[in-house]
A and B are shown apart, each in its own frame.
Chain A
Amino acid sequence: MNTLLWRDLRLALRNPRGWVMSVIFFVLFLSVMAIALGGNTTKLRPLAPPLIWMALLFGQLLTFPTIFQRDIVDGTYEQLHLSGISGLSITTSKMISCFVVSICPLLLAIPALGIGYGLDKTTLAAILLSVILGGPAIIAYGIFSGSIVAKEGNAGFLVILIALPFLVPVLIFALGGIASYRENGLWNLEFQALSGISLIAIAAAIPATAATLSSYQD
């Protein structure tokens, strides 16, 4: 499990196509949005949380198809499967490495964009918290949808279809939590619900992803 996790992390970091793409998409999307909305900070400020979340979701959706593609196509997964490593630990290590590699860079990018959108410290903190609490759910459904399309060549559309309906509650509670952070602080109702959804998503997605992966061996 430990070795697997380090392998996944190292591979992901050395192959920056996935995570750099999502960061660049994130920055690009938000900059273009700011331009499209007229570049007026007073107008942009209330729109920043939903825009940042949209950029986050779509940037992540871009990376999902590639999560398992390599391992399945070059036979690594088959070798791991044959050597008796359970699908659950493969999935779990993939999930941790994805979280580290694709959510953490965004945590650095958000404050930088916050300057562009004229956000104050409280809102910025709320947005960062919402990303940390909701991130596991995004990654969980991401690896699940990624495992379904791992063998299909261009399945970006399918990933969007599979993952987005499940991410609706995450989006709702994340934005609700950001809105009520100022009054109710860190542990407000919405953030509690968001953490709950993340836990459920992890619990549901790990066995489901392990099951989809094992069907490649049939």
Chain B
Amino acid sequence: MINYLANPQRFLRFAKWAIPTFMSAFIVSLLLGLWQALIVSPEDVKHGHAVRIMYVHVPAAMMSMGAYIALFMASFVSFVWRHSLADYGARAFARLGAVFTALCLITGSIWGKTGWGTWWEWDGRMTSVLVLLFIYIAYLFIWEFTTNKKQAARFAAIFAMIGLINIPIIKYSVDWWNSLHQPATRDLDTSMGLPFYLMLIAYMALFAWLSTYQVRTDIMRARKNRENRKKTATASIKDI
């Protein structure tokens, strides 16, 4: 699969049908999920209506980690094979990961206000997600600051891999430091599980859609730059 998509030409062909597919999957599952989450699913005994934030918050938290794993895999491919498509992918994943992480923090803070009565608490999980956001930002800034883009690709890939080693350490250290967050509950009732999984599918489809879109845009931009360069090279001594 990865091997197949590594060719930009084939990737563009794949993107031609993948982008609308992911987009429609996103829209359908989002609408179904929101309908289920906001109207059909019952109130929670403990949280009341505020539990509905969970359907936005928990998938965002899962995607913030999932995006990092995708970023790590793309970085690994980029580090070993120096493939520019992997770099485009890694950058797209990092951008989306940063957005999901920020979304997770914002929705979590709203839920915290209703649940614990405070917008922000220096609790273990919240702090580790905040640090994850900083790692995403650092990754994106390495790309921005390094002038030589081939080197930036190496640096960013190495940074992402070092980051993967550090994320569990940061998580456990911060958990040990201070913990108030409720432990994640795995046994969701079907009335709550269905909207939750629908929302999770919606988030994943959104991630797939936007990252494919971004990679396609990057391929086209690189191609355009190449064409521009070709044009200037055609001037020859005969023209003068």
User: Interface on A for B, CB 8 Å cutoff?
Assistant: 144, 148-149, 151-152, 155, 157-158, 161-162, 164-166, 168-169, 172-173, 176, 193, 197, 200, 204-205, 208, 211-212, 215-216, 218
Contact = CB atoms under 8 A, between A and B. Distances in A.
Nearest to B150: A218
Nearest to A211: B158
B158 A168 contact: no
A155 to B, nearest CB: 6
Interface in B54-70: none
Contacts of B135: 165
A71 B170 CA distance: 32
Lowest 8 A-B CB distances belong to which pairs? Answer: A169-B173, A215-B154, A161-B138, A165-B134, A172-B173, A148-B155, A158-B145, A165-B135
For the residues of A in contact with B, the DSSP-based class is helix
A208 B170 contact: no
A171 B91 CA distance: 29
A53 B155 CA distance: 28
A212 B159 CA distance: 9
B9 interface: no
Contact of A204 (B134, B146, B162): B162
B23 interface: no
B114 interface: no
A162 B138 contact: yes
Contacts of A157: 141
B39 to A, nearest CB: 40
20 contacts: A144-B162, A148-B159, A149-B145, A152-B146, A157-B141, A158-B138, A162-B159, A165-B134, A165-B166, A165-B170, A166-B170, A168-B131, A168-B174, A169-B174, A172-B176, A176-B176, A216-B151, A218-B150, A218-B151, A218-B154
Given A161-B134, A162-B159, A212-B154, A155 B166 contact: no
B165 interface: yes
Contacts of B161: 208
Given A200-B165, A204-B165, A165 B147 contact: no
Contacts of B27: none
Contact of A205 (B150, B154, B162): B162
Contacts of B163: 165-166
A172 B173 CA distance: 7
B87 to A, nearest CB: 13
Given A215-B155, A218-B151, A169 B170 contact: yes
B154 A165 contact: no
Interface in B140-194: 141-142, 145-148, 150-151, 154-155, 158-159, 161-163, 165-166, 169-170, 172-174, 176-177
B177 A176 contact: yes
A176 to B, nearest CB: 7
